[in-house]
Amino acid sequence: MPSAGFANRRALKLVALLAMLIAFVAQLVGALLPVVPLFIAASVVNLGLDLYLQHKQPGLLSLLGKIRLDITVRQLIRDMLILVGLLHIPGINPLKEQAPLTIGLLVFYVAHFACQAAAVLVRRTRTLPFLTRNIDSSALHLTKAPPRLLARQTGRRLLRFSVPTTLGMMATAITRDALWGGIGLAVSLVLAIAGTVYLATWLLPKKRAVNSEKALEWLDEWLQEYQPTVGMYFSGGTTSAYQANMWLSTLAELDGKPIIVLRERFMVQKIDATDIPIVCIPKVANLMRLEHSALKVLLHPANSGKTSQILRIPSIKHAFINHGESDKLSSCNPYAKAYDEVWVAGPAARDRYQLADIGVEDKDVVEVGRPQLSPIKAYEGAPKGEYTTVLYAPTWEGWDGNPGNTSVILAGENIVRELLADPKVRLLYKPHPMTGSVDPEAGAANARIKAMVQEAIAQRAAEREGQGAGPEAVAELEARTEELRALTTSSFGKSADELEKMLIQSAPEEGRAAAVAEATAAWEAAYWASFPEWEHRIITSARPAIFACFNQADVLISDVSSVVSDYLSSEKPYAVANTSGMSEDDFRANFPTVRAATILTPEADGVAGLLETVRNPERDTLVQARKELKEHLLGPSDPPSLARFNAAALALHAAAEERQVRMEARLAGVPGQRDEGTEAHEAQEAAEEMELDPSESPEAGESADGSEARATV
C-alpha cells in the first residue's frame, strides 16, 4: 500500500485543485448574480491561488495542462469572467466604459503572445548543438541569459503581468469607475510591451551566439587541438549520474588526455567537480564527428539505448567498466558483448560471464580491480568504542519482482528490530535511493523501518538527556557544510540557461576537484562528530557516501549487491539476508559474494551470533574466507588496481591504433574507397535532416561492408 507521505501529498493536490475549481465557480456566480463581494473575493483568490501553485506546486498545474486547461486558458477564463461581472454590475456603462477595457485587454493578450514568440526565437538562438564544461568556449560568443521570467516562465509571466489588470478591474467593480481598470490595464500593457522589446534585444548580433554550423566547426577545431585519447561515455536518467561520478577520479589519473562524452543536456550539471573536459552531444549525427578526432578509447560505466549509437564509430575501441559488480543477473547483461572488452574487478566476474553464457568471450574480459575502493579502510579488529556500529544497507527491489532482490520487504523490519533491541548497537540505516520506486510494498516497509529507527533515536535521547554532541561540533558541521556548498554549487544566477552556465564553466578550475575531495573528507569527519556515538542514524541523502559509512561500520548487513563486493575490500565481517527462498547451502553456492558472510533468515535469525563474532574476533571463523573471497572478487592488491586499469586503457588504445593502420593500408589500394563508416554517417545525417528516426533509415542500419548494424535512437 502507498506510504502515508504519498497519500498526504496526493490529498493535498486534490484539495488544491478543488479549491481552484471552487474559486472559478464562485467567480462565475458572483459575476452573473451579481454579488460584488463574492465576485471580488473569488477573482482575487483565484489568481492568487494560481500564482502560489505556480511557485510551490508546478507539477500539480502540469496535470491541468494535460486536459488543455493550461495557464493561458485559465487566465483567459478569469479575465472573461471579470468582464462578465463588470457587465452585470449596475452603474458601469457597457459601451462607454467596458468596451475600452475589453479592447485594452485584447491588446494586452496580443502583447503577451508577441513576448512569447520572442521567447521562442531567443531560446532557439541560444540552443547550440552541444554543451561543454571545463573548455574555453569564448570563441562561441556566449552571453548571459535573458531574465527567465521573460524567456522561460510563460505561466508566471502572464500571471504576474495580469495582477495590475485584475486589481484595477476589482477597483472598478467597487467604485463603478472604469478609470481604475484602465490604469491597471495600462500598467500590464507597459510591462508586456517593455518585456517584449527587452527580450528581443537578445536577437541582435551583439547578444547572439554563433550559429550551429560555426559552433560545430569550433568543436572540430577544439578536438583537433586537444587531441583526446581516452574518454568516458555516459547516457542516463536524472538519478543515474552517480554511475559516472564514481569513475571521475580514476579517469583523471589515466595516462593521456581524458574527456567525458555525455548525451543528455541536463547531465552536464549532474557530473561532480572535475577538471576533465566535458562535451555533451545530443544528436547522433554530431556525435559521429568524434570519428575524425584523436579519441581511441571510450569507457562505459552503464548501458543505455544511446550506447549503440557511439558503438557505430569503428575508430574507437569500447570497454564496459560497469558501475558496480554483484551476483545479480544485471551484472551479466547480454549487451556487454557489444563492447570490444569487458573490464571486471577480479576472477569472480570473469567466471560469472562465462557461466551466464551470454556471448561474452573470455579473451575479451580484462581484470582491472576496483580503483575507486582505495578510500575504504582496512579491518582493525573488534569495535574500539562502547558501541558496535552496524550498517544496514539493503538494495532496492529491482525491475523483475524477485523477492530475493531486497531484504526490506521480508526481513528488514525483523533485522532492525533485533539490532535495536541490543543496547550496545548503533544502527546506520542507509536504504537504496530507489527503494519503493517499483514495488509499493518496499516503500511501505522502508517507511516503517525509518519510523522504528526514529522511535529508537528519541528513546535513547530521552535516556541520555544532556549527553549529545556539543555546540562546537554542530557549529563545525555547519561551517564545513557551507564550505562544501560553496565549492560544489556553481555561482549561477536564477536566470542562467545552458549557454550562460557554459560561459561560467568555460575555464577549467585547476585543483577544484582536489579541493572538493578535501572539503568532503572534512565534512564527513565533522558529520560523524556532530552526534554522539550512541545515536542511530537514518542516511538517505547522497552525503555521507556509502564508503564513508563503510569506514564507520564494524559490520555490514546487506543483500546480494555490489555493496557487498565493495565492502569486502575492508575484510570486515558482513552478513547477507537470504530472502530468496533457497536453502543456505544453495544460497552460498549460487551467489559467490555471500560465501564469506553470515547468512540471516527472513526472521533475522543469526543477528545475535553475528554481533557476538564482531565483538569477539577470536570467534570469527570467516576471517580467512573473507580474505580469499576479496581477492577472488577484486583481484590481487599488487599491482595496484589503478595501475592495472591504466595498463588496460593503454593496451586498448594501442589496439585501436593498430587497427587504424591496418585499415589505412587495406583502403590505400582501392580506388574510390571511402573511409570506413562514412556511408553510415551520411545516412544518419540524411535521416535527421528528414526528421526520421535513424533506425528507420535502411542506409543507417548498414555498415560500409553491408553488414547489419542497426542503432537504437
Answer whether residue 204 shows pLDDT above 90: yes
For residue 328, what pLDDT is reported?
A: 67
Residue 697: pLDDT band by 50, 70, 90 thresholds? very low
Residue 505: pLDDT band by 50, 70, 90 thresholds? very high
| DSSP-based helix, strand, coil % in the chain, nearest 5 | 60, 10, 35
> 691 or 36: which carries more pLDDT confidence?
36
Answer whether residue 699 shows pLDDT above 50: no
Residue 7: pLDDT band by 50, 70, 90 thresholds? low
Residue 712: pLDDT band by 50, 70, 90 thresholds? very low
For residue 713, what pLDDT is reported?
A: 23
C-alpha cell at position 421: 533491541
The residue extents of the domains of the chain are: 378-463+531-634, 642-701
pLDDT digits (tens, 9 = 90+) for 631-686: 999 999 889 999 999 999 999 999 999 999 999 888 886 665 555 445 445 545 55
The residues near 608 (Cβ < 8 Å, ≥ 6 apart) are 418, 422
Calculate mean pLDDT across residues 611-620.
96
pLDDT digits (tens, 9 = 90+) for 37-73: 999 999 999 999 999 998 888 878 888 888 889 999 9
For residue 186, what pLDDT is reported?
A: 97
Answer whether residue 630 shows pLDDT above 60: yes
Calculate mean pLDDT across residues 511-535.
92
pLDDT digits (tens, 9 = 90+) for 248-280: 999 999 999 999 999 999 999 999 989 999 999
Least confident of 75-89, 477-491, 617-631: 477-491
End-to-end CA distance of the chain: 36
Residue 383, amino acid? P
> Where do the H-state alpha helices sit in 240-361?
242-245, 248-253, 284-287, 307-310, 347-356
Q: Give the dihedral sign, CA 210/214/218/220.
A: positive
For residue 707, what pLDDT is reported?
A: 34
**Strand blocks (E) in 410-539:** 425-429, 537-538
Grid look-up 555490514 returns 556
Answer whether residue 299 shows pLDDT above 70: yes
Indicate the pTM of the whole model.
0.85
C-alpha cell at position 691: 526528421
Answer whether residue 441 shows pLDDT above 50: yes
Calculate mean pLDDT across residues 601-615.
96
* pLDDT averaged over every residue in the chain: 90
C-alpha cell at position 587: 544460497
**What are the C-alpha distances in Å from 76 to residues 42, 270, 320, 527?**
15, 38, 54, 52
Round the CA-based radius of gyration of the chain to a whole number and report it: 31
C-alpha cell at position 305: 539505448
Answer whether residue 687 shows pLDDT above 70: no
- How many Å apart are CA 39 and CA 45, to the nearest integer? 10
Residue 703: pLDDT band by 50, 70, 90 thresholds? very low
Four-way CATH pick for 378-463+531-634: 3.30.200.20, 3.40.50.2000, 3.40.50.9100, 3.90.1150.10: 3.40.50.2000
For residue 329, what pLDDT is reported?
A: 63
Grid look-up 569495535 returns 383
> 59 or 203: which carries more pLDDT confidence?
203
Calculate mean pLDDT across residues 381-397.
95
Answer whether residue 466 shows pLDDT above 80: no
Angle in degrees, CA 661, 666, 670, rounded to 5:
135
Q: Which of 548, 665, 522 is nearest to 537 (CA)?
A: 548
pLDDT digits (tens, 9 = 90+) for 114-138: 999 999 999 999 999 999 999 999 9
CB of 251 closer than 8 Å to CB of 94: no
Least confident of 35-39, 306-310, 490-494, 500-504: 490-494
CB of 47 closer than 8 Å to CB of 78: yes
Angle in degrees, CA 455, 564, 380, rounded to 5:
85
Calculate mean pLDDT across residues 152-167.
96
